[in-house]
Amino acid sequence: MTEPTDVDNDLGLPSRRRFLREGSALLGGAVMAGGLAGSEALAASDNADNLPPNVPEWMKAPGDPMGSQLYGTPSPFEKGVIKNIPDNLPQYLSASGRTPLQDLDGIITPNGLFYERHHGGVPTIDPAQHRLMLHGLVDRPLIFTMDDIRRFPSESHIYFLECSGNPNYKKPYGKTASDLVGLLSCAEWTGVSLKVVLQEAGLQPGAKWIVAEGADAAAMTRSIPIEKCLEDAMLAYSQNGERLRPQQGYPLRLLLPGFEGNMSVKWLRRLRVAAEPTYSREETSKYTDLMPNGSVREFTFYMEAKSIITRPSGGQRLSTPGFHEISGIAWSGHGKVKRVDVSVDDGKSWQEAQLQEPVLTRALTRFRLPWQWDGKPAVIQSRATDVTGYVQPTLAELLAVRGDNYYYHNNAIWPWRIAANGEVSNASA
C-alpha cells in the first residue's frame, strides 16, 4: 500500500501539517514546562487553589458592576503598562512622555499611552471659547469656532506621529524600545481636510507657506509648505474615536502625516498664509542641524524609513530555548513600508519578515518572523525598506554622512543582544 505523501513537501514548500505537528509538540512542551513551573511557584503562595483542575476564586462571586467604571480602565494586572516619563525632566517646560512600545501589539496606540511632547505645559482650553484664525494671502480671512470646523465634511485616517529627536544622536543608548524610540505612536485621526478649509478662504497666487501657531504658553509656531497643506494635512479633533486629549492638542490640532511631530501643531489657534516661511525659533534654534562642512540642514520635514524589534527587546527575557516569534514595527514618512528584513546573526544574513495587513501609507506596520532560538548568545535587528526604495541605514552609515554635531532624524538600525540566559539588552550600549 502506498504511504500518504506530504504534498507541500513534494512541492518544496514548508509543510503546514508538519509545522502544526511539530509546533504542537513544541508548544505542548512549553505549556507543560510553564505549567509545572507555574504550579511550583503558586504552591508556595496562597493562590495554589486557583490552578486547574480547581475552580479559581474569581469564578465564585459576581464581578464588578457596569457602573463602577464610567470610563473604562485596564486590568489591575496591567498596571505596569504606562507612559515612560523621565524623572529628571521638568514636566511644565520641555517635557516628554514615551509610549511603552515593547508592551503593545498591533499598530494602534491607545490614547492613554500616546506619546507626549510639549514646550510650555498643557493648556486647559474651553472648546466653546476656542477660535481658529485663517488669514494672510487669502481672499476671505475667516475665524472658525469648533462648531464651524465640525460642519465641514469629516474624514478618518490611520497615521503615525513621531518626534524628530527619536532618538537623538547624542544619547541613543536606552534600555528598552520605549527608551530608544518611544516618541512614536499611531492612531486613527478624525477631522477635516486642511485643503477644504483653505479653499473656503480662497488662496491667493503668492501663497507658498502656511504658518501654524498653537495656543500653548510657548506659542509653538511652524512653517508648512503649501504643497503639504493641499496634499493630506488635517485639522484633527478626534483620536481613536474620541475627542483629542489635552496632551494631544484638545480641542484642535494640525496633523501632517509623515512630517516630524513638532510640525503637527497642537491647540491650533492660527493659520497665516504667507509667501515665505517665518523662520521661528522651532525652525532655526531648534529642529535644524549643523553638517560637517559647516552648512545647516533645515526644514527636514519627512521622517525616514525606520523599524525596531519590540519583542524580544531590551528589558525582556526569553524563558527557554525553542520557538519565539520576533515582532516589531516599521514606518516611513514617505509612504508605505515595502518590506522588513530581520537578522538573527548580528547582520551577517537577513530574512524577509511577514508584514501584517493592512499595510497603510504613513502608518505603523507590524512585522513578524518565526525563530528557533538555540539558547546561545545572539544579536537580532530589523531593517525597513519603503516604497521609494530607501533602506534603513546603520548608525555608522548615518554618522559618516551627518557627523557628530547632528541631533535630529536618527533612523538607524537598533540591534538587541540576547544572552545565554535569555536576557535582552541594547547591543549598541
CA-based nearest residue to 165, from 149, 193, 152, 184: 184
Percent of the chain with pLDDT over 70: 87
Q: How confident is the model at residue 404 (pLDDT cuts 50, 70, 90)?
A: confident
The amino acid at residue 119 is H
Which three-class secondary structure state does DSSP give residue 373? Answer: strand
CATH of domain 95-297: 3.90.420.10
How much is the mean pLDDT over the chain? 89
Per-domain boundaries in the chain: 95-297, 306-426
CATH of domain 306-426: 2.60.40.650
66 pLDDT higher than 80: no
pLDDT of 23 reads 47
Which three-class secondary structure state does DSSP give residue 153? Answer: coil
pLDDT of 37 reads 42
Q: Give residues with Cβ within 8 angstroms of 51, minimum separation 6.
A: 38, 39, 42
Residue 348 carries which DSSP code? Answer: S
Q: How many CB atoms lie within 10 A of CB 324?
A: 19
Contact of 233 with 194, CB cutoff 8 Å: yes
pLDDT of 2 reads 41
Please provide the DSSP assignment of 27-91 as one string. HHHHHHHHHHHHHHHHHTSTTGGGSTTSPPGGGSS----GGG-SS----GGGTT---B--TTS-T
Higher pLDDT pick, 42 / 111? 111
Contact of 359 with 336, CB cutoff 8 Å: yes
Mean pLDDT for the stretch of residues 299-326: 97
Which three-class secondary structure state does DSSP give residue 309? Answer: strand
Strands 354-355 and 378-386: unpaired
16 pLDDT higher than 50: no
Tell me: the pLDDT tens digits for 178-214? Answer: 999 999 999 999 999 999 999 999 999 999 999 999 9
What are the E-state strand segments in 125-267? 132-136, 142-144, 154-162, 184-193, 209-214, 221-225, 234-239, 242-243, 253-255
307 pLDDT higher than 50: yes
54 pLDDT higher than 70: yes
pLDDT of 35 reads 42
pLDDT of 67 reads 66
Q: Considering the entire predicted model, what is its pTM?
A: 0.88
Residue 323 is inside which H or E element, if any? strand 322-331
Q: How confident is the model at residue 93 (pLDDT cuts 50, 70, 90)?
A: low
